[in-house]
Amino acid sequence: MMLRGAISISWAFIVRSAATYASYRSKLFLGFASLLLSAITFLFVGRVVELAGSGFEDRVGMTYTAFALIGVVVHGVSASGLHVFRKTVRREQLQGTFEQLVSSGRPVVSLVLLAGLSEIVIAQGVALGLAAIAAGLLGVAIPVTLPALTAVVLYSLTMCGIGFISAGLTMIFKEGEPVSWAFGALSGLLGGVYFPVSLLPVWLRRVAWMLPTPHVLSVVRAGFRGSVHDADTATHLIFLSISAAVSVAIGLVVLRRGCDHAKVTGTLREY
């Protein structure tokens, strides 16, 4: 019965989210246009890199276009969990429906998780579809290997864990929650999304490898180069497993504390 109830609630959230997305057709169009423009940008930047010689491809094992497209697609699709739970909480607060969710008799944490997961399903489906179109236009096929899929799933769980922390803090502070912004910015800047981590100064390289982003991209790009059983793949997957377990565990605690704080202080209606 509990599983059936969870599925029913998840489906209700998915239907509502889908209806919301469908009502904003211009938003969907602009999202596609933004991705397409990014892909075209990577194509021409890649040609600029090629004009400078074959050094980048010789060193990295792929063209810059493929390197950047893989980075943006993997990080973008997986990082949806970083912001979606905070946005879910804020939306319910602003719409005045957060108190109704709490008074529904179901655990608030589970409702926030189910609402956020429905957003992730839709966001990742749209992003993957658009990414497939862009990749087809550029002739870059992102590899689908077992290590790559495992790495992406673990990375997504890590991002969801950080997202739980963000949502929990949002219940307490409403606005000005810095965790998701800081983690997202650092991941994009130091994670090897747009350029190899090896180009960073030594001290920044050490900071970068403490983030999960370089690890997931290393596994996916190794699959693109055909080195699926790269010697470092196991190390990267172990790191991602630990980061996923730790972030999800801490995130659920913070999310529950945030819910309890909102109930005790009577701030459920505040936004």
DSSP 8-state secondary structure symbol assigned to residue 8 = H
Asked if pLDDT for residue 128 goes beyond 50, the answer is: yes
Rounded CA-CA distance 226/203 in Å is 30
Is residue 170, in this structure, part of any structural domain at all?
yes
* pLDDT score for 1: 41
Rounded CA-CA distance 96/90 in Å is 10
Q: Looking at residues 202-213, what average pLDDT do you find?
A: 92
Domain span including residue 174: 26-265
Is residue 98, in this structure, part of any structural domain at all?
yes
pLDDT in tens, 220-265: 888 877 765 666 888 999 999 999 999 999 988 988 888 777 777 7
Mean pLDDT highest for which of 5-14, 91-100, 102-111, 213-222?
Answer: 213-222
Candidate from 82-86, 132-136, 153-157 with smallest mean pLDDT:
132-136
Is residue 6, in this structure, part of any structural domain at all?
no
* pLDDT score for 114: 72
* pLDDT score for 22: 59
pLDDT in tens, 13-71: 556 555 555 555 666 666 666 666 776 777 777 777 776 677 788 888 888 888 888 88
Mean pLDDT of all residues belonging to the chain: 76
Q: Looking at residues 98-106, what average pLDDT do you find?
A: 62
Candidate from 7-11, 54-58, 126-130 with smallest mean pLDDT:
7-11
* pLDDT score for 20: 59
Candidate from 58-62, 108-112, 186-190, 232-236 with smallest mean pLDDT:
108-112
Is residue 207, in this structure, part of any structural domain at all?
yes
- Residue 268 contacts residue 262 (beta carbons within 8 Å): yes
Is residue 84, in this structure, part of any structural domain at all?
yes
Is residue 72, in this structure, part of any structural domain at all?
yes
Is residue 8, in this structure, part of any structural domain at all?
no
Number of independent structural domains in the chain: 1
User: Cα 113 to chain center, whole Å?
Assistant: 15
pLDDT in tens, 145-176: 888 889 988 998 898 888 888 888 877 776 66
> Residue 240: which of 166, 152, 172, 160 has the closest Cα?
152
Asked if pLDDT for residue 2 goes beyond 60, the answer is: no
Is residue 13, in this structure, part of any structural domain at all?
no
Terminal-to-terminal C-alpha distance of the chain: 34
Q: What is the pLDDT confidence band of residue 131, given thresholds at 50, 70 and 90?
A: low
Rounded CA-CA distance 85/241 in Å is 21
Asked if pLDDT for residue 77 goes beyond 80, the answer is: no
Rounded CA-CA distance 213/196 in Å is 12
